[in-house]
């Protein structure tokens, strides 16, 4: 049949594209995030992206102005529910800074072990969920398989699997149970060979590389100007990690630990000889680099946990005595940022005296990381939007608070 291929009107109808507004999301709260993106598209090309947030807003800051700092610890869990331990630590350190309380060494090592395990658990979800965003399902299941083992360890230590409230002002709620360190070491030995499996599944996968390499490239200047932190910042080649550069109260936890910042220098990542090299198509600051930084950080954290176990078992003294710490806050204000899996998480506390803070403020890392979306998505394809947003590894509970 000659469906008038030479009919000018039909050809025009087939290839003509119109500008169109497309709503992406919001999805169900139990999925990766309740994020609504409004895309202005022309055919497959995205010309403008506007993120709309606030669907999970639970007024955590307002609640913080009506509770004592220790009562507010559970609310920090519910912000970044994938790395609750790291959030507990950030708030606990901020309050301790205001109280000028210094943790005994043993408590610091305990906190290093726990928060680095939390970082592994969070990056595993970040990696698995990113695979899911790009249409592959198995890495998601494998990542959760390993994460569950970390959650088992956490459950043993504090009784909870998602919202721990374990690290608290003045230490932790309990010491590590007997035999826990051995089980933790056993887990690390098991995890080590599995990392290679993840790299085989995603990092070197031809489809994965084509979906991520060269997509959503962010320059170092853009990343800094938007306040991006964590793997998103280091993926753009900026050498900053608060475990080394942060405030003394935080960095002294890592005193004597041997570790390198995962950032590309002269085309190489530290200790990347055992892992796949950067593919040809990848550009510094693209989705692939952000993903790769996270993968290498898992290995880094495993090393830190091992060192922490060694130091913790040799340290003498107390792991912290939260009960004895005075509930009365001195007049003043304190701001402290810690390196959470998603970036720099800051807490700001203002006290006018008394046991309840005057003002509680959370600087969430995903909030800043997400704000760069509209810049990264300009001119990309619709299918690249999930790849870009996924590579930022945002947790909506932290953005909306």
Partner 1 sequence: MRGQSFLDRLKQQFGDGKIIGGNQEALDPWIEVSPPALVEVCTYLRDEPTLRFDMLQLISGVDYFEPDPKKAAKVSGQPHMELVYHLWSVPNRVSLVLKVMLPRWKNDVPGELPVVSTVSHIWRTADWHEREVFDLSGVRFVGHPGLRRILCPEDWVGHPLRKDYEMPLEYHGIRGK
Binding flag, residue 368, partner 1 (CB under 8 A): yes
Q: Cα-flanking dihedrals φ and ψ of residue 363, to 5°?
A: -95, 105
Binding flag, residue 197, partner 1 (CB under 8 A): no
Q: How far is the CB of 126 from partner 1 (least distance, A)?
A: 22
Binding flag, residue 224, partner 1 (CB under 8 A): yes
Widest Cα–Cα separation across the chain: 89
Binding flag, residue 401, partner 1 (CB under 8 A): yes
Burial of 30 from C-beta contacts in 10 A (0-12 / 13-18 / 19+): exposed
Q: In this chain, which of 43, 135, 177, 353 binds partner 1, going by CB under 8 A? A: 353
Structure token pair of residue 154: 């956490």
Binding flag, residue 61, partner 1 (CB under 8 A): yes
Binding flag, residue 333, partner 1 (CB under 8 A): yes
What SS3 state is found at 311?
A: helix
Tell me the window of 108-116, 162-170, 208-216, 366-374 that interacts with partner 1 (CB under 8 A): 366-374
Sorted by sequence, the CB contacts under 8 Å of residue 36 that are 6+ apart come out as 23, 24, 25, 26, 51, 52, 53, 55
Tell me the window of 54-62, 111-119, 150-158, 283-291 that interacts with partner 1 (CB under 8 A): 54-62
DSSP letters spanning 263-275: --BTTB-TT-TTS
Q: Which is nearer to partner 1, 36 or 277 (CB)?
A: 36
Structure token pair of residue 75: 């609310």
Binding flag, residue 222, partner 1 (CB under 8 A): yes
Binding flag, residue 237, partner 1 (CB under 8 A): no
Binding flag, residue 199, partner 1 (CB under 8 A): no
Tell me the window of 20-28, 144-152, 221-229, 382-390 that interacts with partner 1 (CB under 8 A): 221-229
Binding flag, residue 238, partner 1 (CB under 8 A): yes
Query: Of all helices (H) and strands (E), which one includes residue 19?
Result: strand 19-24
- Short-list 183, 181, 162, 169, CA closest to 109: 181
- Short-list 101, 71, 76, CA closest to 86: 76
Cα(263)–Cα(372) distance, integer angstroms: 20
Q: Which is nearer to partner 1, 98 or 167 (CB)?
A: 98
Q: In this chain, which of 29, 43, 54, 177 binds partner 1, going by CB under 8 A? A: 54
Binding flag, residue 97, partner 1 (CB under 8 A): yes
Q: In this chain, which of 39, 160, 188, 350 binds partner 1, going by CB under 8 A? A: 350
Burial of 179 from C-beta contacts in 10 A (0-12 / 13-18 / 19+): exposed
Query: Hey, what's the torsion of the CAs at 183, 185, 189, 192, to 10 degrees?
Result: 120
Contact 354, 360 (CB under 8 A): no
Cα(333)–Cα(306) distance, integer angstroms: 35
Q: Which is nearer to partner 1, 97 or 106 (CB)?
A: 97
Q: In this chain, which of 230, 285, 346, 386 binds partner 1, going by CB under 8 A? A: 346
Q: How far is the CB of 240 from partner 1 (least distance, A)?
A: 6
Binding flag, residue 87, partner 1 (CB under 8 A): no
Q: In this chain, which of 27, 71, 240, 355 binds partner 1, going by CB under 8 A? A: 240
Binding flag, residue 337, partner 1 (CB under 8 A): yes
Sorted by sequence, the CB contacts under 8 Å of residue 187 that are 6+ apart come out as 149, 150, 153
DSSP letters spanning 39-61: EEEETTEEEEEEEE--TT---HH
Binding flag, residue 344, partner 1 (CB under 8 A): yes
Binding flag, residue 98, partner 1 (CB under 8 A): yes
Q: How far is the CB of 364 from partner 1 (least distance, A)?
A: 10
Binding flag, residue 342, partner 1 (CB under 8 A): no
Burial of 265 from C-beta contacts in 10 A (0-12 / 13-18 / 19+): exposed
Binding flag, residue 192, partner 1 (CB under 8 A): no
Q: Which of residues 267-326 bind partner 1 (CB under 8 A)?
A: none
Q: Which residues bind partner 1 (CB under 8 A)?
A: 53-54, 57, 59, 61-62, 65, 97-98, 222, 224-227, 238, 240, 245, 247, 331-335, 337, 344, 346, 348, 350, 352-354, 358-359, 361, 363, 367-368, 371-372, 375, 400-401
């Amino acid at each position: 049949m000659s469906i008038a291929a030479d009919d000018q009107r039909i050809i025009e109808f087939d290839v003509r594209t119109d500008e169109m507004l497309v709503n992406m999301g919001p999805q169900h709260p139990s999925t990766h995030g309740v994020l609504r993106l409004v895309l202005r598209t022309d055919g497959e090309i995205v010309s403008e992206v506007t993120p709309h947030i606030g669907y999970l807003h639970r007024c955590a800051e307002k609640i913080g102005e009506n509770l004592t700092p220790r009562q507010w610890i559970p609310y920090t869990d519910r912000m970044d529910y994938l790395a609750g331990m790291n959030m507990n630590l950030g708030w606990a350190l901020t309050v301790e800074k205001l109280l000028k309380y210094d943790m005994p060494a043993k408590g610091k090592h305990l906190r290093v072990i726990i928060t680095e395990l939390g970082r592994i658990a969070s990056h595993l979800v970040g990696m698995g969920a990113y695979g899911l965003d790009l249409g592959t399902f198995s890495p998601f299941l494998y990542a959760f398989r390993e994460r569950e083992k970390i959650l088992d360890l956490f459950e043993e230590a504090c009784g909870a699997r998602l919202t721990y409230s374990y690290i608290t002002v003045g230490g932790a709620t309990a010491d590590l149970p007997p035999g826990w360190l051995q089980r933790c070491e056993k887990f690390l030995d098991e995890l080590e060979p599995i990392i290679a499996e993840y790299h085989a599944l995603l990092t070197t996968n031809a489809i994965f590389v084509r979906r991520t390499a060269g997509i959503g490239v962010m320059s170092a200047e853009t990343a800094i100007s938007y306040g991006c932190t964590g793997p998103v910042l280091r993926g753009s080649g900026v050498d900053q990690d608060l475990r080394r550069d942060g405030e003394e109260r935080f960095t002294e936890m890592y005193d004597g630990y041997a570790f390198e910042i995962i950032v590309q220098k002269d085309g190489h990542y530290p200790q990347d000889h055992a892992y796949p090299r950067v593919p040809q198509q990848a550009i510094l600051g693209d989705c692939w680099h952000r993903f790769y930084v996270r993968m290498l950080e898992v290995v880094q954290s495993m090393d830190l946990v091992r060192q922490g176990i060694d130091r913790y078992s040799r340290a003498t003294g107390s792991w912290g005595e939260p009960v004895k710490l005075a509930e009365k806050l001195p007049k003043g204000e304190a701001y402290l940022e810690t390196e959470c899996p998603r970036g720099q998480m800051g807490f700001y506390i203002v006290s006018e005296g008394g046991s309840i803070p005057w003002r509680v403020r959370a600087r969430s890392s995903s909030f800043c990381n997400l704000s760069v979306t509209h810049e990264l998505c300009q001119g990309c394809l619709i299918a690249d939007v999930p790849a870009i947003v996924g590579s930022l590894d945002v947790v909506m509970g932290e953005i909306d608070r």
